[in-house]
């Protein structure tokens, strides 16, 4: 049995109040994001279940995500599924206080506070021209 490579992700476990400033992009207008993010271990502590209950302005959206380590690729991943029928696969990296999420069309670069009770960062979307556009300035605060 492989050693548990997920122990560093303990910083996520719990419930977070999330707020964001949605910036105007090719994909849509500016707005406000409010959400509750809940992270909990799945049995064995090899995967984390991340549940999101969010509102983009007045539009509700819900999603679930599984975060884990893939032995075949030797990398960390997140696989998400939302209430619109969309799923996504992301490479994730937690190095010290820095948290990164990457895919072909979106990415996040954030940083935890030293006490681990806040995570702030920026989501970006890749536009039609192939250039990255700032999308959501995000702040998660532990409940």
Q: With a cut of 50, which residues of the chain have pLDDT below it? A: 1
What integer pLDDT is reported at residue 1 of this predicted model? 42
User: How far are the Cα atoms of 9, 23, 62, 75 from residue 86, in angstroms, in the given order?
Assistant: 25, 21, 11, 23
Alpha helical stretches, state H, the chain? none
Report which of 75, 142, 129 is spatially closest to residue 102, judged by C-alpha positions: 75
What integer pLDDT is reported at residue 2 of this predicted model? 52
Report which of 76, 107, 78, 73 is spatially closest to residue 93, judged by C-alpha positions: 76
Q: Distance (Å, rounded) from C-alpha 1 to C-alpha 44?
A: 12
What integer pLDDT is reported at residue 4 of this predicted model? 83
Q: Distance (Å, rounded) from C-alpha 130 to C-alpha 4?
A: 37
Residue 128: both structure tokens together: 């039609």
């Amino acid at each position: 049995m492989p050693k548990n490579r997920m122990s560093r992700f303990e910083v996520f476990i719990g419930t977070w109040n999330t707020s964001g400033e949605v910036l105007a992009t090719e994909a849509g207008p500016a707005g406000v994001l409010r959400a509750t993010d809940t992270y909990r271990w799945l049995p064995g502590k090899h995967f984390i279940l991340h549940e999101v209950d969010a509102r983009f302005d007045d539009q509700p959206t819900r999603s679930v995500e599984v975060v884990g380590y893939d032995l075949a690729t030797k990398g960390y991943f997140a696989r998400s599924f939302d209430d619109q029928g969309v799923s996504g696969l992301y490479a994730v990296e937690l190095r010290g206080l820095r948290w990164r999420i990457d895919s072909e069309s979106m990415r996040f670069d954030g940083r935890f506070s030293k006490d681990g009770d806040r995570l702030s960062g920026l989501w970006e979307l890749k536009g039609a021209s192939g250039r990255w556009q700032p999308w959501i300035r995000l702040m998660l605060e532990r409940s």
